[in-house]
Amino acid sequence: MHVTEVRSQKSNISLIGFMGTGKSSVGPILAIMLKKSFVELDAEIEKVAGQSISDIFASSGEGQFRKIEKEILVKVLDHENIVLSCGGGVILDAKNRTILKKRSIVVWLNADAKVITERLMDNKSRPLLAENVMESVSKLLKERIGFYRETSEVMVRTNGMETSQVALNIAEKIGAKYGI
Ligand code: S3P
Tens digits of residue pLDDT in 109-166: 999 999 999 999 887 778 898 678 999 999 999 999 999 999 999 999 999 999 999 9
Summarize the confidence of residues 85-91 as an average pLDDT.
Answer: 98
**Is the distance from the beta carbon of residue 17 to the nearest atom of ligand 1 less than 6 Å?**
no
Quote the ligand 1 centre to 127 CA distance (angstroms).
8
> Over the chain, what is the mean pLDDT?
93
Quote the ligand 1 centre to 7 CA distance (angstroms).
27
Considering its fold, how many domains does the chain have in total? 1
pLDDT surpasses 80 at 5: no
CA 20/CA 17 separation, integer angstroms: 8
Given pLDDT bands bounded at 50, 70 and 90, which one contains residue 10? very high
Quote the ligand 1 centre to 125 CA distance (angstroms).
9
pLDDT value of residue 2: 53
pLDDT value of residue 1: 46
Long-range contacts of 92-96 (CB under 8 A, 24+ apart): 92/66, 92/144, 92/147, 93/66, 95/70, 96/69, 96/70
Note whether 141 and 133 are within 8 A (CB). Answer: no
Note whether 31 and 167 are within 8 A (CB). Answer: no
CA 152/CA 46 separation, integer angstroms: 25
**Is the distance from the beta carbon of residue 127 to the nearest atom of ligand 1 less than 6 Å?**
yes
**Is the distance from the beta carbon of residue 89 to the nearest atom of ligand 1 less than 6 Å?**
yes
pLDDT value of residue 7: 47
Which CATH number covers residue 69? Answer: 3.40.50.300
Domain that holds residue 28: 3-178
Quote the ligand 1 centre to 87 CA distance (angstroms).
4
**Is the distance from the beta carbon of residue 92 to the nearest atom of ligand 1 less than 6 Å?**
no
